[in-house]
Chains A and B, each alone.
Chain A
Amino acid sequence: MNEPFPRKVTLPKLSSKGDGIFRTVIVGLSLVIALTFMLSIALLGQQSWPAIQKFGLSFLTTNVWNPVTSEYGALSLVMGTLLTSFLALLISVPLAIASALFVAEYAPKWLANPVGYLVELLAAVPSVVYGLWALFALKPLFQQVQLWLYTSNPDLTARCAELFNSNKTSLQCFFMPQVPTGLGFLLAVTILAIMILPFTASVARDVIRLVPADQREAMYALGATKWEVISLAILPYARAGIMGGIILALGRALGETLAVAMVIGNTPEIIKSIWSPTATMASMIANQFGDAREGLQRSSVVGLGLTLFFVSVFVNLIARTIILRLTPKGL
């Protein structure tokens, strides 16, 4: 009798040698990611060690930046970073949500897609180009306003100048310019707000689209207006996702460098007025690292980088947790 199959079937080996090599190569290359992270901490830590040793935590809580006396405290920079970022968020979040609602709920399809594209292109504009535009197009406008404020009320200008000189301010003076150069805190906030818009906008748009249709339909069936549907059914439902987008934008804002460095005035002082020249940690690194002498000055600048590193890791982990919690399991 003919056997239909040979008695011994030889299957190809399940775990070939190739698989082992492939796995090793892939895992090895992936480990570069982990290595980058650990090297970042190690190198930033090592380079800023002299400053950490000398100043400790007071590096973040004192406000001097004096290469002559070798004293470095980053309080004004920390505050500059936080204040510019939060104010920029305050301006950009309502606008970003408005544009997301427009694209997801209001616009007809022929308009929704192009507007969506434009918002995404806004994210593609490089930081230096924003900085250049702010410097050449927005700065003259800001300067006009400052000059007008400066000259329209000479008494107040003189009083504020005195206060500013003694490092003080008052509620009234907080809205008066120090020196009408056009550069300063408010211009940096403006450009920062524009730069972070698309991050919140695109996340918000995506989560608004995820709101189930029956949520809307139920509300419309009750006779609700479009705004009532948005404010009572859509926004509460999408709230957590929008929050994730906002925190992502915050991470961007905290680390944004050149656009801010080009327009903020780069003065390591705590702001006395919304028009004051000030500095952020990132802008200070960009401006000072190249010229800083080896030693305490350079390691203080790297200390700013280490701080920024930890802050952005922290902010990202929060955004990640929020967004992960939203993603349905199994996707």
Chain B
Amino acid sequence: MAVSQLSPTFNKNGLSGGRKSKNAFMGFLIGLGTMLVVAPLILIFGFLLLKGFGALNLDFFLKTPAPEGEAGGGWANAISGSLLILAMAAVLGVLVGVAGGIFLAEFPRHRLMPVIRMLSDVLSGIPAIVMGLVVYALVVRPMGHFSAFAGSVALGLLMVPIVVRTTEEVLKLVPLSVREAGLALGLPQWKVILSIVLPAASGGIITGLMLALSRVAGEAAPLLFTAFGSNLVNLNPLQPTSALPLQIFIGATSAYDENQRLAQAGALLLITLIFVTSLLARFASRQK
């Protein structure tokens, strides 16, 4: 098409000055733009290392927050809370997510298939805070109080679309001939899927799970009115519980220096964990 716009204006020495300098200028802009894209990541990580690294001591992991305005204390409550909530969220996310992925990949002719696929896509775009409101009405109101369980329902539901998508994609990579071979041996479909197809795809599915977990591990918005937060180490799923991102939000917006310092340390810990998880997951899937 638009070749006429090109109107090659060559001179004896090759490209005309205008076209050459325009090309160089755009190349420069693209390089500059890329640097501007990468810069925030380096700035954020550098800032957190500088500000938060000093506070990441043993107390940070073993103590609970000191009373407002007092020095010391740690985030044992947030770390244990995150583990508890994520563990329960993972159960929900894996069960529904992997089942959804199997449904989309293995039953493509089911009449509900297009509906589930569309709704799963749509759910992936629902803002996390809205999911918090939904789970508040679904779990917190009937139960009468905030709880780690409510928080993990919110995070689990946020995991589902990510797990569905990666499971479906990985399952579709398993060659059809593998399924046919299994069926030809006289295995029923459920056995073929569970004992041949799923194990073959397990690497990719686990990668997807890790990515989904690291994605929701950083969500604080849906926990605001589900898990709610607590200054105590709580391992009872039915009690309000803190989590790292939630505590970062509370600490960063607090007026006390000590809380802000701990929030910076917590943020450093959180993004380090998330970076390591997502790099590991990507590396694992690269190896395949």
Verify if B157 is at the interface (C-beta below 8 Å from A).
yes
CB <8 Å contact, A302 and B214: no
Is A230 on the interface with B (CB-CB < 8 A)?
Answer: yes
Q: Does B249 contact A (CB under 8 A)?
A: yes
The dominant DSSP class at the B interface is helix
Q: In the assembled complex, which residues on chain A have CB atoms less than 8 Å from the CB atom of B245?
A: 126-129
How far, in whole Å, are A130 and B47 apart by their CA atoms in the complex? 11
**Distance between B165 CB and nearest chain A CB, rounded to angstroms:** 12
**Inter-chain contact B186/A230, CB cutoff 8 Å:** no
Chain B residues closer than 8 Å to A39, beta-carbon distance? 134, 138
Q: Please, which residues of chain A bring their CB within 8 A of the CB of B209?
A: none
Known interface pairs A21-B190, A289-B133; A99-B112 also in contact (CB < 8 Å): no
Query: In residues 5-33 of chain A, which contact B (Cβ within 8 Å)?
Result: 11-12, 15-16, 18-19, 21-23, 25-27, 29-33
- Please measure, in the bound complex, the distance between the C-alpha atom of A120 and the C-alpha atom of B279, giving whole angstroms: 10
Is the pair A258, B249 in contact by a Cβ cutoff of 8 Å? yes
| B49 neighbours in A (Cβ, 8 Å) | none
Interface-located stretch among A57-65, A66-74, A217-225: A217-225
**B19 close to A129 (CB less than 8 A):** no
Residue A308 is within 8 A (CB to CB) of chain B in the complex: yes
Q: Could you tell me if A98 and B37 are in contact, using CB atoms closer than 8 angstroms?
A: yes
With known contacts A25-B99, A289-B133, A136–B264 Cβ distance under 8 A: yes
Determine the chain A residues whose CB is within 8 A of the CB of B23 once the complex forms: 225-228
* Interface mask (A69-104 → B, CB under 8 Å = 1, otherwise 0): 000000000000000000000000011111101110
Do residues B267 and A286 form an inter-chain contact, with CB atoms below 8 A? Answer: no
Closest beta carbon of chain B to A298's beta carbon, Å: 10
Q: Of the candidates B1, B8, B121, B249, which one forms a contact with A223 in the assembled complex, judged by CB atoms under 8 Å apart?
A: B8
Does B119 reach chain A (CB closer than 8 Å)? yes
A305/B133 in contact, CB under 8 A: yes
- CB pair B22 A258 closer than 8 Å: no
Which of B24-32, B54-62, B65-73 faces chain A? B24-32
- A321 CB, nearest partner CB in chain B, Å: 10
In whole angstroms, how far apart are the Cα atoms of A122 and B275 in the complex?
Answer: 10
Q: Is the CB of A132 within 8 A of B264?
A: yes
Q: What chain B residues lie within 8 Å of A194 (beta carbons)?
A: 40
Q: Which residues of B, 151-180, contact A by the 8 Å Cβ criterion?
A: 157, 160-161, 164
Cβ of A52 within 8 Å of any chain B Cβ, yes or no, is no
Select from chain B the residue with minimum beta-carbon distance to A191. B40
Which parts of A219-246 form the interface with B (CB within 8 Å)? 222-228, 230-232, 236
Chain B CB within 10 A, most for which of A15, A33, A102: A33
- Segment of B83-91, B124-132, B199-207, B232-240 engaged in the interface with chain A: B124-132
- CA A95 – CA B71 in complex, angstroms? 43
Chain B 7-27 near chain A by CB (<8 Å), digits 1 or 0: 010100001000110110011
B279 partner residues in chain A, CB cutoff 8 A: 117, 121
Chain B residues lying within 8 Å of A18, measured Cβ to Cβ, are: 188, 190-191
Shortest Cβ distance from residue B260 to the other chain A in the assembled complex, whole angstroms: 7
Q: How far is the CA of A319 from the CA of B122 in the complex (A)?
A: 10
Task: Select from chain A the residue with minimum beta-carbon distance to B50.
Answer: A137
The distance in angstroms between the C-alpha atoms of A26 and B171, with both chains bound, is 15
Separation of A248 and B125 alpha carbons in the complex (Å): 8
B145 at interface, CB cutoff 8 A: no
A22: which of B6, B122, B193, B278 is its contact (CB, 8 Å)?
Answer: B193
Contacts of B285 in A (CB 8 A): none
Q: Are A47 and B137 in contact (CB under 8 A)?
A: yes
Using CB atoms and an 8 Å cutoff, list the residues of chain A in contact with chain B: 11-12, 15-16, 18-19, 21-23, 25-27, 29-34, 36-37, 39-40, 43-44, 46-47, 94-99, 101-103, 106, 115, 117-122, 124-133, 135-137, 194, 197, 201, 222-228, 230-232, 236, 248, 251, 254-258, 262, 282, 285-286, 289-290, 302, 305, 308-309, 312-313, 315-317, 319-320
Show 25 A/B contacts (Cβ-Cβ < 8 Å), sorted by A.
A12-B186, A16-B188, A26-B107, A33-B161, A34-B115, A36-B160, A46-B137, A97-B33, A103-B34, A121-B279, A122-B37, A124-B274, A129-B218, A129-B245, A129-B271, A132-B252, A136-B260, A137-B47, A228-B23, A255-B130, A285-B130, A290-B224, A313-B125, A315-B125, A317-B122
Cβ-closest 7 pairs across A and B: A255-B127, A126-B218, A98-B33, A22-B190, A29-B99, A316-B125, A225-B23
Given A19-B189, A129-B267, A316-B122, 16 further pairs, Cβ under 8 A: A19-B190, A26-B102, A29-B100, A37-B122, A40-B130, A94-B33, A102-B33, A136-B51, A136-B260, A222-B8, A225-B23, A227-B22, A258-B221, A286-B221, A308-B127, A309-B127
